[in-house]
Amino acid sequence: MLDRMQDPFVSCTAGFSPEVHFSLPRSQNRTLNTGQTPPFAAFAATAGPHIFSRTAEQTIEVERAPAGMAGRGDSRDALVVAHVVEGCQGGVGTAVRHLIEEQDRDERIRAVHLLADPARLGDMLSNVPAQPHWYTSSRATHRLLAVSRSIREKLREIQPDVVYLHSTFPGLYGRLVRSRKCEWVTVYCPHGWAFTQSVSRPKKLAYAAVERILARRADAIISVSRHEHQQALRSGVRHDHHRVILHGLPVATKQPSPAILHIRNRINLLFIGRFDRQKGLDLLLDAWRDPRLKNFDLWLIGDATLGSNPRLPVLPNVHNLGWVKNDRIDSYIQSFDAVIVPSRWEAFGLVALEAMRNGRPVIASRTGGLQEVVLDRVNGVLFEPGNREALIAAVAGLDKQRLAKMGSVAREVFHTGFEWPSCYEQWKRVTEDAVTDRRTRRSPQRDAARVPRIEAALKRGIDVTASCGAILAFLPLLLIIAMAIKLTSRGPILFGHSRCGRDGRSFRIWKFRTMVLNADKILHDYLRDHPEAMQEWKKDFKLRKDPRITRLGRFLRRYSLDEIPQLINVISGDMSLVGPRPIVQNEVERYADTYDLYTRVKPGITGLWQVSGRNNTTYAERVAFDAFYVNNWSIWLDLSIIWKTFYVVLAARGSY
């Protein structure tokens, strides 16, 4: 029986882009994401030459030269891959299982191996199409080297081309004694960084220090959410091939409903996971004692950690279903009104995707990767983690009609961005980049932030001096703008918003308020009622006719006067006068590989984007401008951009 006991580390993978097709020998068709390098094309050094012809939004035909790679088993050039796991259950087990099954179907992969501790493996990976190899894991400090050497010897027997290390301790085992001349490419996915969990501060510092030391012993690192990626950057874990891949799942099929005696005219919510503090079950049960939730039934799937037998309170509206096999989970989800995820910490939260693919909304705590999957009041409801009153308020305000509407949106969101085929393509791209780097022996990318100290000090000096002078010069204008904002609309004069800064640290950027108070609700309603505006928003995160902006705000934005308070950010050291465009958390995924480059310098009030077309440029062009600036920085480039900024602002070019 397959246990629904979740591993402390949650899984990864997904992303979405339009699909095109390319042809393969033996009339087999597979999908390829537009704008991406054909999967594993970088293996041409061993797989033979490929001839590609591409037209935008058209079919890509792939012809293989006679010396090219044949199907599975027909060529010694096909890849051999190995997965190293420890206790692989819950979200991690689901991610690894889907990855192995897809690789088994991939004709470019000749063999798939699985290294695991049989005592910890569980049933999740018991029947996957991979050749098993056993080792005995240990988390005792004095045993780590021995376990690491044991895994290295087994890998030398297998002779894989690529090794995937899943979760913290397999990542430690696989990298601890890895030599610089290691024969295989190593891809490490922690499935949730250990230093982001609810552990003591000394442990967090120790985990972060180990990850910093071992980061360079992997050819690629995968974080399962943008939140996890930022936490890694804040902790100093840096790597040129550190990527974010959100998880994905296959499309669900309709299954017969289980025989559950709950079908009453009540709202039925489902909890799936370990019965422990991290998953927030104690908070959930405490909330269900409140009389405001007396008309809501709570159903539990799972059990306690390590097979213990916790005593659940006897409540008339709480029902324990116990263990449920993984292949039956969809049938249970389809029988309920919503899935509730009250976790205190989640790297990703795969159960949210399981709910969405079955057309059910998610009631979740606003933590970790859950915020990147659940959109508040769109495909679910978010509440503050660990807050009993917030949880009760989130649930008590629900009704079946509203849940059904959010469930329909949840299914659409899943099909748009979290289906498994597009996830697998991203795994292949990460592997491809790492293998290309290894085979071409490319030197590590130069850190653009490492400029001579004199130039760095000069840039900082210009920032502080010019900002202080500008504030004094603009002081009368600042007072006039402040009075005008106060007299023409309700609300504060300044608006603070969280942005991504250097090393991935968040900071609060300051602007003159140009929007109405309930801007988020107005935008949500406007995008819902205007599909063409939704497309424009998805494309650039901007609207030419933004309903949130006040009349005074349009004037301030036209001449960039709303950005003058950012001089405070420059003086405090969060920003520079010139730099990349400060982005919000939701834009990190769109920066993709360029995000690591972006975090090496401070964002700026002005930059190449602002003087090169501003809002008239595409999003891809903005990212390219930021990358060019970081790689080609000089004092003279900064001075040139500042000079051009005066002309662009006075002419109001590209602003709206």
Indicate the pLDDT class of residue 411, thresholds 50, 70 and 90: very high
Indicate the pLDDT class of residue 29, thresholds 50, 70 and 90: very low
Element of type H or E holding 153: helix 144-158
Mean pLDDT rounded to a whole number for the chain: 80
Find out whether 42 and 342 touch, Cβ atoms under 8 Å.
Answer: no
Q: How many other CB atoms are found less than 10 A from the CB of residue 532?
A: 8
Rounded alpha-carbon distances, angstroms, from residue 261 to 289, 317, 496, 643: 21, 12, 50, 73
Q: Would you give the DSSP letter of residue 370?
A: G
pLDDT at residue 336 in the model: 93
Question: Taking 70 as the threshold, does the pLDDT of residue 222 lie above it?
Answer: yes
pLDDT at residue 241 in the model: 80
Q: Which is nearest to 278 in space by CA: 218, 381, 330, 349? A: 349
CA 168 – CA 484 distance, rounded (Å): 55
pLDDT at residue 31 in the model: 30
DSSP assignments along 497-511, one per residue: EEEE-GGG-EEEEEE
More confident position, 188 or 233: 188
Architecture (CATH level 2) of domain 267-417: 3-Layer(aba) Sandwich (3.40)
User: Which tokens is 517 given?
Assistant: 């108070």
pLDDT at residue 436 in the model: 77
pLDDT at residue 612 in the model: 81
Question: Taking 50 as the threshold, does the pLDDT of residue 192 lie above it?
Answer: yes
Indicate the pLDDT class of residue 14, thresholds 50, 70 and 90: very low
**Range of weakest confidence among 225-229, 321-325, 505-509:** 321-325
Identify residue 51 by its one-letter amino acid code. Answer: I
Q: Which part of the chain is CATH 3.40.50.2000?
A: 19-250, 267-417
For residues 590-596, average pLDDT: 77
Rounded alpha-carbon distances, angstroms, from residue 566 to 386, 563, 576: 34, 6, 9
Residue 219 CB contacts under 8 Å (≥ 6 apart), including other chains: 185, 186, 187, 241, 434, 435, 437, 438
- What sections of 139-251 are H helices per DSSP? 144-158, 168-176, 201-214, 226-234
Q: What is the pLDDT of residues 300-311, one digit of tens each?
A: 998 876 444 567
Element of type H or E holding 185: strand 185-189
Q: What is the pLDDT of residues 72-117, one digit of tens each?
A: 444 556 889 999 998 777 778 888 999 999 999 998 899 999 999 9
Strand segments, DSSP code E, in 246-311 are 267-272, 296-301
CA 182 – CA 563 distance, rounded (Å): 51
CA 66 – CA 441 distance, rounded (Å): 27
Roughly how many angstroms between the first and final C-alpha of the chain, as a whole number? 59
Question: Taking 90 as the threshold, does the pLDDT of residue 27 lie above it?
Answer: no
Question: Taking 90 as the threshold, does the pLDDT of residue 568 lie above it?
Answer: yes
User: Which tokens is 166 given?
Assistant: 């899943």
Q: Which is nearest to 283 in space by CA: 391, 396, 196? A: 391
Q: Which is nearest to 588 in space by CA: 543, 630, 548, 619? A: 619
Question: Taking 70 as the threshold, does the pLDDT of residue 442 lie above it?
Answer: no
User: Which tokens is 484 given?
Assistant: 């005008």
CA 622 – CA 581 distance, rounded (Å): 8
CATH of domain 19-250: 3.40.50.2000
pLDDT at residue 76 in the model: 53
Q: Which of 82-91, 429-438, 490-499, 520-529 has the highest mean pLDDT?
A: 490-499
Q: What is the pLDDT of residues 39-80, one digit of tens each?
A: 333 333 333 333 223 233 332 233 333 333 333 444 556 889
Question: Taking 60 as the threshold, does the pLDDT of residue 550 lie above it?
Answer: yes
Q: How many other CB atoms are found less than 10 A from the CB of residue 476?
A: 8
Q: Report pTM.
A: 0.61
Element of type H or E holding 320: strand 318-322
Q: How many other CB atoms are found less than 10 A from the CB of residue 417?
A: 20
Measured on CA atoms in the order 208, 210, 216, 222, is the torsion positive or negative? Answer: negative
Q: Would you give the DSSP letter of residue 76?
A: T
Identify residue 134 by its one-letter amino acid code. Answer: W
More confident position, 20 or 245: 245
Q: Which residue has the tokens 């009631």?
A: 363
Residue 276 CB contacts under 8 Å (≥ 6 apart), including other chains: 304, 305
Question: Taking 50 as the threshold, does the pLDDT of residue 22 lie above it?
Answer: no
Question: Taking 60 as the threshold, does the pLDDT of residue 605 lie above it?
Answer: yes
pLDDT at residue 70 in the model: 34
pLDDT more than 70, % of the chain:
82
pLDDT at residue 432 in the model: 83
CA 297 – CA 655 distance, rounded (Å): 52
More confident position, 105 or 616: 105
Cα angle vertex 648, ends 642, 654, to 5°?
130
113 strand-pairing partners: 82, 131
Strands 296-301 and 318-322 come out as: parallel
Q: Which is nearest to 62 in space by CA: 110, 27, 35? A: 27
Q: What is the pLDDT of residues 113-138, one digit of tens each?
A: 999 998 887 677 778 899 999 999 99
Q: Report, in angstroms and rounded to the nearest whole number, the Rg of the chain calculated over CA atoms.
A: 26
Find out whether 425 and 39 touch, Cβ atoms under 8 Å.
Answer: yes
CA dihedral 118, 121, 127, 129 (to 10 degrees): -90
In terms of Cβ atoms closer than 10 Å to its own Cβ (0-12, 13-18, 19+), residue 481 is buried
CA 584 – CA 497 distance, rounded (Å): 9
Residue 83 main-chain phi, psi, to 5 deg:
-115, 130
pLDDT at residue 297 in the model: 93
User: Which tokens is 113 given?
Assistant: 């191996």
pLDDT at residue 449 in the model: 54
pLDDT at residue 276 in the model: 83
CA 500 – CA 585 distance, rounded (Å): 7
185 strand-pairing partners: 162
Question: Taking 50 as the threshold, does the pLDDT of residue 35 lie above it?
Answer: no
Question: Taking 70 as the threshold, does the pLDDT of residue 15 lie above it?
Answer: no
